[in-house]
Structure 1
């Protein structure tokens, strides 16, 4: 299945889908960081951390996924976005394993994302702690007939999520996947939202 994505070129760097040698990865990351910094008008000092992030993201290249690096304002925040195509419908346990994490330190924030081609996706935003480090991730699931699209943004420093998630969500909203037919499952979406709603979040306030 061919995945097409539209993205903001001054905030998003797509990573090559083909596997490159370590030397080719290093050369590509260096040039891509320099080009992005120049074209976005960012300070030259941001090129090095963007280059480091690109090299780290490239380690996850695979045939079943697309990788992008989201760059926050002035290059101060960077976060990988991985979009995976799974050629089967995930079981409820597989969905839960992807959407939640036992390293979460705060209640999950649920959201629904409406897209034209992938249908309505459920997302969870997690604040996590591992090995003494705090970070945030946001995960999406889009349900299809015989297939599933999953996406993960992060890890990113907790305060940085607000700077990168609008560009990740816009990229997902623009995505088209050949052969993918969205599966409407409002009952499952409602179940997922209900599973993480905290007491009081759904109260109606009369002002």
Structure 2
């Protein structure tokens, strides 16, 4: 199996932890509620992308390993809840790596369906951020794309770079590394330097 597959599995675990952790912070949540939010966070973006592209069966339906990855993420959240709370910045780094990978994989998959490059970039961004948007909505938090921090913009920048490098036939592996690296770099710099998008008004 290609290395990207294993990265996607790891990213699914991280997103499941992120969703379960957000749900676990809300008082009165039972195991089902926490697991459901973790599940939606992990597969929401990719499922939305595949439905819009008409790609069936959905990835997690076709490959049960993604279900196992989500269950693992929820269990790890419960076992190491205190440590994850203490080191949320570290988890945020893994989340950033996850959105970088999912953005590029989503963009590439969209291109395989023959859509316009602009649409492919949007599909890549959807793959990365929509699970988090659904998570925040379910936990009654401000969706991540509506916060001041740079998040979706970083994904869009990486998707555009991927498309440019792909147009010039840059080797796929190098393209993944360079484009994904741009997303990670922008996101980390934005967090540490508190960069934000200018307000609409």
Structure 1 length normalisation: TM-score?
0.28
Between structure 1 and structure 2, the one with the greater Rg is: 1
Please state which structure has a larger fraction of its residues in strand: 1
Structure 2 length normalisation: TM-score?
0.29
